[in-house]
Amino acid sequence: MSSPATTPAPAAVTPPTGALDPVALRADFPILGERIGGHRLIYLDSAATSQKPTAVLDAERDFLTHANAAVHRGAHTLAAEATDLFEDARATVAGFVGAGPDQLVWTSGATMGLNLVAYAIGNATAGRGAPASARFALRPGDEIVVTAIEHHANLIPWQELAARTGTVLRHIPAHDDGTLDLDAAAELIGARTRIVAFPHVSNVLGIVNPVAELIALAQEVGAVTVMDACQSAPHLPLDLPTLGVDLAVFSGHKMMGPYGVGGLYGRSDVFEALPPFLTGGSMITTVTLDGAEYLPPPQRFEAGTQPVGPAIGLAAAVRYLDGVGLANIHAHEGMLAARMGEGLREIPGVRLLGDAAGVERVGLWSFDVDGVHAHDAGQFLDARGIAVRVGHHCAAPLHTRYGMTASVRASAALYNTVDDVDEFLDAVRGIRTYFGADA
């Protein structure tokens, strides 16, 4: 039997010049040929979930067809092939963010990764883990600092940890233009701060946050840094060790990969000291009826059956992204973001969230249409084949900060074109007229 582990990954489609050609790339995404109500699909909801190229669909299907078996558990040929593919996927995905394979833990997604970290720190606080785990123990009066722009997944786990441990949760505010208040951050992050959590890119505002400054402030006081990289990993070059963050999470389905898989990056010394969260099979060395000893990272944090097929699919996704080039992707999406922002500003009654001048951003804008509920605006666009997101985007406190309960969010990816943006803008111009809000 030939091993799929040695089968070359399908190459990404790139134009001869090496520059990103979204028209050529669209051929790699079968779903983009769908029609919605007679209209061509204009998919502007990649911040929620990205579409998957054929290379990803084929990689997962090929595994299930030729090498499906439990990893790390069998001596037969299929088990060995599955394990090789699984660990090769780990090395590939880890390398995509500049890390080594022992610095990447498989999770079901970013939410799982953030909860893993919060509960592991809680276990250290309860006295579990090796002696080195004591460095993470929290005491009443200690502080956890987050930002006012968090996705709920990087807020609620810290709320819960604070409630369990008696620590204080504090928030770095945002200016009206959506940028973080670094002066306030410098005041908030101090001797009592033990954890600083933040997003690399806001999933509502699209702004690339000044994470280097936040990390520096945290390092000055010895606080652990935790970064949500969901909206940056697919859109700009990312080297987590060089950035200096202690822990970071990302989700496969937002970066051209399958559902049900994500990554938790950790500095080696941090992973070595953290006690486990989930326990059971696959993460132990020895077990008696009275106790157990655990494997080193990353397996220490990977109890139970792993997402083998999705991990292999995610490795294909990052090979695809690498083939196109993250610098090319970021430049293309930045161009689309500028065009989208300029067009939205010119439409009467449209209010942009996070309309900061001169900041780096990804291809994402959230906005409010005066006199029209976000859900109605979304349905209007959907009837024209344009897929956007509506609601609070799992960032209710941020919407409260702007005095609203919901917004419309349009988010571009490498397969979006200038025509997509222009047709979207033309449709937005008709929303208020259709609903009689411009009378």
Give the mean pLDDT of the chain. 94
Fold for the domain defined by 77-321? Aspartate Aminotransferase; domain 2 (3.40.640)
Structure confidence at residue 6 (pLDDT): 37
pTM above 0.85, yes or no: yes
Name the active-site residue from 278, 394, 404, 437: 394
Instruction: Compute the chain's Rg from CA coordinates.
Output: 22
Structure tokens at 187: 């005041």
Residue pair 405/393 in contact (Cβ under 8 Å)? The answer is no
Say if residue 9's pLDDT is above 60.
no
Say if residue 301's pLDDT is above 90.
yes
Find the distance separating the first CA and the last CA of the chain, reported in whole Å: 71
Q: Report the SS3 class of residue 292.
A: strand
How many CA atoms does the CB half-sphere of 335 hold within 13 Å?
15
Mean pLDDT score, 298-322: 97
Q: How far apart are CA 399 and CA 380, in angstroms?
A: 22
**Residue found under tokens 């300029």:** 342
Structure confidence at residue 74 (pLDDT): 79
Say if residue 65's pLDDT is above 80.
yes
Q: How far apart are CA 254 and CA 308, in angstroms?
A: 18
Say if residue 4's pLDDT is above 50.
no
263: left (phi over 0), alpha (psi -120 to 50) or beta: beta
Angle ∠(256,258,263) on CA atoms, nearest 5 = 85
User: How many C-beta atoms surround the C-beta of residue 8 within 10 A?
Assistant: 6
Q: Report the SS3 class of residue 176.
A: coil
Structure tokens at 291: 């106790």
pLDDT digits (tens, 9 = 90+) for 169-224: 999 999 999 999 999 999 999 999 999 999 999 999 999 999 999 999 999 999 99
Instruction: Determine which helix (DSSP H) or strand (DSSP E) holds 384, and give its type and residue range.
Output: none
Structure confidence at residue 303 (pLDDT): 95
pLDDT-derived band at 8 (thresholds 50, 70, 90) equals: very low
pLDDT-derived band at 3 (thresholds 50, 70, 90) equals: very low
Say if residue 7's pLDDT is above 70.
no
Structure confidence at residue 54 (pLDDT): 98
Query: Is 394 a known active-site residue?
Result: yes
Say if residue 237's pLDDT is above 70.
yes
Residue pair 144/194 in contact (Cβ under 8 Å)? The answer is yes
Residue pair 423/42 in contact (Cβ under 8 Å)? The answer is yes
Q: How far apart are CA 199 and CA 228, in angstroms?
A: 4
User: How many C-beta atoms surround the C-beta of residue 304 within 10 A?
Assistant: 10
Instruction: Determine which helix (DSSP H) or strand (DSSP E) holds 86, and give its type and residue range.
Output: helix 77-96
pLDDT digits (tens, 9 = 90+) for 114-143: 999 999 999 999 999 888 999 999 999 999
Q: What is the DSSP letter of 208?
A: B
Strand ranges (DSSP E) for 183-283? 193-199, 224-228, 247-251, 262-266
pLDDT-derived band at 299 (thresholds 50, 70, 90) equals: very high
Say which amino acid occupies 392. Answer: H
Mean pLDDT score, 386-392: 98
Mean pLDDT score, 255-284: 96
Structure confidence at residue 121 (pLDDT): 97
Q: Are strands 389-391 and 407-411 parallel, antiparallel or unpaired?
A: antiparallel
Q: How far apart are CA 415 and CA 438, in angstroms?
A: 34
Structure confidence at residue 15 (pLDDT): 36
206: left (phi over 0), alpha (psi -120 to 50) or beta: left
**Residue ranges of domains in the chain:** 77-321
107: left (phi over 0), alpha (psi -120 to 50) or beta: beta
pLDDT-derived band at 152 (thresholds 50, 70, 90) equals: very high
Mean pLDDT score, 344-365: 97
